[in-house]
Structure 1
Amino acid sequence: MAESVRKPPSSILEHQRHCWHYGDLLTCGFGRLRSKYHPTTAKRPDQTYIDNALAADSSIERVKTQLGLVEQLQSSLLPLLQGQINSLSLALDLSDLRDHPAPKLALILRIQAELDCTLDQIKYLVATLCPNLQPISNRTDDNHLKEFKSYRLCRLRTNFEGILSEQICEIFETADNIIKQMELSSAPANSSCADIDSLKKSLDRTVCGASDTIKSIADCFQASELAIAQHSWQDIRLEIEEQHRSILKKLNRSTRLKLKSDHFRAQSVIQLARLTLPIFKLSKVFFAKLSERGLARERVPVHTAISSDQINIIAESVDSVAERLHEIETFLDCANRRNGRSDQVITAAAILKGKFESPLFLVLLHFIPLIPDTEGLHRQKHYQDWCVTWNTHMSLAIHNFTLAAKSYTNARP
């Protein structure tokens, strides 16, 4: 009697075999897809296919082909991919998998095949649009290429072949681990994996990240060149904000009186630190004015006469500025310990001034003149006047700081 109780009914065994059939197909499929699409193992599409896809009798026909590919990507493939990863996440609902494993696994198997088809199409499309690109910094001659400048195309390729492909493969790996942890395949569960609930939360986070990347890929051809240049600004702008906040904290009199080692003590260092505050504030204001709350939200055309090299100058300006500001902050900390060299910070301040000149000039040349002046608002004049005023204030702030730094060289505290 006890033996018959311990032995599972044949229907349960059959149900388990049925689930494992689907589960094993899924785990095998997810492994194959990770190998096919992961940036470290993916193979580029055959060059012959790319050459045939772009074969045309004239440059006009080639542009028409490219425009057709972009339209297919934006209106069809990207929305399809977004829907499929959302469907995969919903199909991996833990309670549904526990209650109805077989039909849910069958559904996931169909979604898996659909994802493979969509990703394969996008992979070939991206390779066709971006066959053999020169490095961004070398393209000074593509002003006339409109939406097909190398900066946009390189960003498209990086977003898909690098960022999105890795995110999608992470989704596949997490989905695979969920199935194994729930014992829905014959493959053993990974003992180093987190619990099932944590895996599902991780999956949902990665799906959100992939959704953001899909939007970024769409923006490669929808957003203005100024907006695209600012794509990576956010983290560095926060870094500049933190640098500014750190100096303010070290200048705070109430905390300085507590004689904390990192707070500015010598009067000459305090004076120098105070003179950096306008520089930090104006740096923050500059990037804010050009960003989504300022110039980037104006109705600037999607493409201008700017080159990829010049877009890259604007894109990298925030990194260059943050680096110089970090040198200034480091000098203040060294000066506070009586071992600072002001010749280095004077050089950093001079370089900082130059790092603003190129992006400021490019914005005045390529973007501000194209802002439509509607309803008598005179938006162009507003931005032109703002640039002149901002430049005057920044020049004065750097001049005042440089004079004080030179005095510090001659008469250290």
Structure 2
Amino acid sequence: MSDNSSYYEEHEETSDASDQSEEAPDLSHLSEATRLTYQKSVLVFRNLDNLMDKCTSAFRASDDGTEATTDTTVTREELFDQVESTLLPQLDEKLKRLTSEFKPDVEWEDLDEKFETLLAIQTELDPLLAQIASAKDRICRSDTEPDLTNDQGFKKLKHIRISGMQEKLRLLITEHVHSSFRYCRWLLGEILSDSYDVPFLGGVFASSNSEISHSIHFLTRWMRESDFHMISRQNSRYLADFNELHNTFASLYHSGFSRENRQQHKAELLEVARAAMLITKLSRILIEKLYKQVTLKNSLPFFIEISSAQIKTLQDLPHCINDYLCRIKGHLKTATRISYPLETITSRSKDFQISFDLLIHHLVPSIINTDGFETRKYFEDWLNTWNDQRLFVSQNLELALKSLKDARD
């Protein structure tokens, strides 16, 4: 791996002045390696954030008062062909490569190496966009320089073709950059979170042979989408995957443990803790997204639909996790590797309580009963029931964590 510190310092000057005026996040809780990885991710994020403006400016008129260099050997028609047949396809190829490197459905083994690759691709985009901007300026010469022809048809055609190229560029950005931007924003928040350190984040999703990890894979893909409409568009599949994960827990619960094989026992405990941690986070994110969307006063019917469909799953899942932890609590002293996931769960539980309080005190009172159905009481009872189960699980997790700490002393 390359020298992370020098790499970041080399690119740090690209930060905008406005970024420097913002309060820097507290990175003291992160390890040095994670801090440097976070700084790289910030740079990748900034580049993505500025990419749309860079692409737009490729067709924006120069505002510095200077004239574009005119090459009399190249006609405007040839410049049109160059942009349409060469430069835009090259841009398309590089944007596709940028998006493919993100691969939101595949976990990254080495974040530093991945960020270096992304930065290299982003650097390749700048000269290509500069060529497009130069060609545009040469096609759209200043009014002070008369066209070689007064043919109004050609001028109209020029306007139409430039507009067409602008639309092509916009579609390229929409197709390739937005998904990468959303994933980078998600990853940025995860790296900075005190509940996730980069090595652990990679380890959680690395067990591709695990049934639990395989089930969680589809759920984490949904987590990475920042827009709430993803829930609506993928509602059926999301619920199916959620139920699949519940069935996995139930299967583990009934299968029991092999007391003689402690190493295998430790691995099972770690898988359960990791999965329970993700379920806690998924539930919190789901509730938060529902809360934010419903407060817009435009999606209450969908809120009722998705929540009703998940009541049994959301109520049964904490029971299943809790019963599982109760069964193995006596053996936790042999599984010291589980301590960090347990600490993470207790931290997430506190965050969830905040979301729950917001829902009870602000959302439920605003719900209006419809068609004789006591909607408000329905949601209040559902939220209270689910929260009671979550608290029960949290208490058991805290007891398990205490057992581990006692074992170390």
Name the TM tier (shorter chain): 0.3 to 0.5
The TM-score, its normalising length taken from structure 2, stands at 0.34
Q: TM-score, normalised by structure 1?
A: 0.33
